Amino acid sequence: MSGKDLISGNVSYDGGRLTFAGMDVGKIADEYGTPAYLYDENRIVDNCRMYKRAMKESFGEGSLPAYAGKAAAFGYMYKIMSREGMAADLVSIGELYTASAAGFDMKNAYFHGNAKTDEEISEALRLGVGCFVVDNPDELSVLDDMARKRGINQKILLRITPGIDPHTYEAVSTGKVDSKFGVPIATGQAAEFVKSALAAPNLTLIGYHCHVGSLVFDTESSVYTDAARIMLDFSRDMRELVGYAPEYISLGGGYGVRYVNSDPQVDIPKNIERLAEFMKCHSAEIGLPMPKVITEPGRSIVADAGMTVYTVGSVKNVKGYKTYVAVDGGMTDNPRYALYRSSYTVVPAIESDEKMICDVVGKCCESGDIIQPGVSLPASTRRGDRIAVLTTGAYNYSMASNYNRIPRPPVVMIKDGETTLAVRRETPADVAALDLMI
């Protein structure tokens, strides 16, 4: 298997042994055990810098990327985001806690969510979150009230539903008119939402937010230009109606990444450049001052910086049907095939020419516990061998569960030939730690 078959430049074989970020994957597995999530720290940093540079060059000062923490949220990750000067999206009390415990500057945080609880709102206000992305009128009135009680004025963006179907998977599409997220333009409700926000004495409206969905591979970037056009036109209409023009427009996240060789490579800086050209041109056409722009990349910051390494537990050939290679993890550490039929590239820790086709499955009590069907692995694969799943940096650790009371794997960071444990492996006692043994 040649380097270019391995999805991203940080994965290759050296003398037949799999390497990630320049280090021997088998050796890391020996040291930390399996399953384990590995992260290439330099790749995360490079991806952050690529976004920061592209946003600045294309949109100018004041426009910025905010890392969507839900893709992979743990203390070490927020430390990287702090060092890189990234803003961040947070969506729950747990993410608020993690970011703030890691020393992330809450002024650079955007607090999202379509059903924020009173406790979360109050905690976000206490921590001094820079901006709330208000999803609905219920939240707007509670937030205004809580800000008044604290004697503060809170900056907000309003989540607007542009009415776009990005033609990705149903479960990750969020911009359609009947989405559970945001307030739609098409029904006239978004205009009312803006009026209410402007009338709220303890809130300062700084602009609009939309997010059309995830896994946008659209290389012509028409999903984003369509969303931008709708948001700019809405801004013009609101300026005419109530005299308010947004300082910021956030266009959400969503660029796709390569999971398998047939996935296209998205040229993100080029896409951002085209988007900026379009927005400047369209703003001028409709006589709207060009707003500052926020993007919210999650997957495209961390996905290709991640890999999961497993140990094979059994190889089962069902004569005349198929071969199963079962590993010591599964849908508990990577539920994405079970949820979305997501594609992944699976490779052995030791290269070999003679291949077999097999389904790589997990150890959970579910037939749907499949990591990836139809994988090519060495015909010699047996119990005890290591295999790795590539591009698992996004929505794997953050979606992990304790189903079957399986302890969650550790997160190991790799940087310049050194490894650091960022999240330790859960123990069986951790899994039972909240049980009241009465």
Ligand X SMILES: *Cc1c(COP(=O)(O)O)cnc(C)c1O
Examine residue 163 and tell whether it contacts ligand X (CB under 6 A): no
Examine residue 386 and tell whether it contacts ligand X (CB under 6 A): no
SS (H, E, C) 227-289: HHHHHHHHHHHHHHHHCCCCCEEECCCCECCCCCCCCCCCCHHHHHHHHHHHHHHHHHHHCCC
Q: Is 209 helix (H, G, I), strand (E, B) or coil?
A: strand
Q: Which pair of tokens denotes residue 429?
A: 């006692």
Return the range that interacts with ligand X (CB under 6 A); candidates 27-35, 297-305, 313-321, 373-381: 297-305
CB of 172 to ligand X, least distance (A): 7
Return the range that interacts with ligand X (CB under 6 A); candidates 284-292, 296-304, 367-375, 419-427: 296-304
Closer to ligand X by CB, 71 or 143: give it.
71
Which positions from 75 through 104 interact with ligand X, judged by CB under 6 A? Answer: 89
Closer to ligand X by CB, 291 or 393: give it.
393
Examine residue 297 and tell whether it contacts ligand X (CB under 6 A): yes
Proportion of the chain in helix, strand, coil states, percent, rounded to 5: 35, 25, 40
Examine residue 334 and tell whether it contacts ligand X (CB under 6 A): no
Measure the CA–CA gap between 174 and 210, rounded to whole angstroms.
Answer: 9
Examine residue 299 and tell whether it contacts ligand X (CB under 6 A): yes
Candidates 35, 175, 207, 298: give the one binding ligand X (CB under 6 A): 298
Angle at 395 between CA 390 and CA 400, to 5 degrees: 100
CB of 271 to ligand X, least distance (A): 13
Examine residue 112 and tell whether it contacts ligand X (CB under 6 A): yes
Examine residue 113 and tell whether it contacts ligand X (CB under 6 A): no
Measure the CA–CA gap between 153 and 283, rounded to whole angstroms.
Answer: 29
Closer to ligand X by CB, 83 or 180: give it.
180
Q: Tell me if 398 sits within 8 A of 73, measured CB to CB.
A: yes
Q: In 3D, which of 326, 314, 321 has the Cα closest to residue 382?
A: 314
Return the range that interacts with ligand X (CB under 6 A); candidates 163-171, 247-255, 307-315, 365-373: 247-255
The H or E element that residue 384 is part of is: none
Pairing of strands 306-318, 36-40: antiparallel
Candidates 43, 116, 176, 211: give the one binding ligand X (CB under 6 A): 211
Q: How many helices (H) and strands (E) does the chain have?
A: 12, 21
Burial class (CB in 10 A: 0-12, 13-18, 19+), 437: exposed
Q: In 3D, which of 379, 374, 389 has the Cα closest to residue 328?
A: 389
Which positions from 254 through 273 interact with ligand X, judged by CB under 6 A? Answer: 254
Candidates 21, 26, 59, 70: give the one binding ligand X (CB under 6 A): 70
Closer to ligand X by CB, 112 or 176: give it.
112
Examine residue 71 and tell whether it contacts ligand X (CB under 6 A): yes
Examine residue 253 and tell whether it contacts ligand X (CB under 6 A): yes
Examine residue 393 and tell whether it contacts ligand X (CB under 6 A): no
Backbone dihedral angles phi then psi of residue 212, each to the nearest 5 degrees: -90, -15
Residues with catalytic function: 365
Binding mask 410-429 for ligand X (x = CB under 6 A): --------------------
Angle at 167 between CA 305 and CA 290, to 5 degrees: 80
Closer to ligand X by CB, 13 or 224: give it.
224
Q: Tell me if 245 sits within 8 A of 289, measured CB to CB.
A: yes
Measure the CA–CA gap between 204 and 147, rounded to whole angstroms.
Answer: 11
Measure the CA–CA gap between 333 and 330, rounded to whole angstroms.
Answer: 6
Return the range that interacts with ligand X (CB under 6 A); candidates 8-16, 38-46, 249-257, 428-436: 249-257
CB of 303 to ligand X, least distance (A): 8
Examine residue 329 and tell whether it contacts ligand X (CB under 6 A): no
Closer to ligand X by CB, 89 or 139: give it.
89
Examine residue 68 and tell whether it contacts ligand X (CB under 6 A): yes
Backbone dihedral angles phi then psi of residue 385, each to the nearest 5 degrees: -75, 155
CB of 305 to ligand X, least distance (A): 13
Return the range that interacts with ligand X (CB under 6 A); candidates 66-74, 78-86, 265-273, 360-368: 66-74
Interface residues toward ligand X, by CB under 6 A? 68, 70-71, 89, 112, 211, 214, 252-254, 296-300
